[in-house]
Structure 1
Amino acid sequence: MMAKQTEAAALLQETLQEAKMDGLVLPFAENYRYLKPLLQDMPQDAFTSRIQALGEALETHSAGLLYARAYPAGFDVLTEREREICALIAARLSNREIAERLFLSEGSVKQYCNRIYSKLNIEGDTRSKRRRLAAWMANC
């Protein structure tokens, strides 16, 4: 087991060095809960500190939004992020507002929405899909 952690730490360090050149922090911050133990053991610099700060902020933000909420049984096919987006759709936020709140692009939100509707077999135009999803969420 220790060999796998050492290998994972080495790969993460290499990936961080490559990402640092382009300033790519979001993929690491979004997966912070998995990377947290490895990042804590690495030498700290401004880049890793930024990842940790964003990761902690995302965890805190997500905990307040999502984890206290119960979801209908059919929602078990969705990822945590998709459930989070469902909650925001049910709160009648626009794609732009969802994107701003979750630090995503509007295009990414649209892709998530399409994937959610597909997984839940919700068909129709955008308004009717949103209404049906909101109604489904209201019944839980």
Structure 2
Amino acid sequence: MKRSDMAGWAGYGYCASHSRFFWGLRLFLVCTPTGMPILWALANPKLDEREVVSAMLDREPHLATDRPSLLVIADKGFASKEFEADLAFRGAELLRPSFKREKKRRGESLLKSVRQLIESVNDTNCIPLAP
């Protein structure tokens, strides 16, 4: 049996939006408000997504420091006091949906207007790999 050439990089992960497991990598994008990717990473799906984004910002620290009051828009998976504190240390603020048990977060009403943009960027940048 031939092993995948991606064996050292890829792994099994769970995609909650599709309710299934997958073999591969997760694509992480940091984009401008118009949807242009300015930073990207491929990561093993077992890695915590907050750690991946923190590592991306460690690699390119000027992306946050050169933009005072940067607003990072993310999904509920990025909920963490530590992650929000890390972003605040970098001069950025996290905007994400609130959980049912939380009160509505400041700026949350803005999320619906950017959801279509986010899905469009994801669909445009997801390139299937040949078997």
TM-based fold match above 0.5? no
Q: Taking CA–CA contacts closer than 8 Å with sequence separation of 6 or more, which of the two structures ends up with the larger relative contact order?
A: 1
Larger Rg: 1
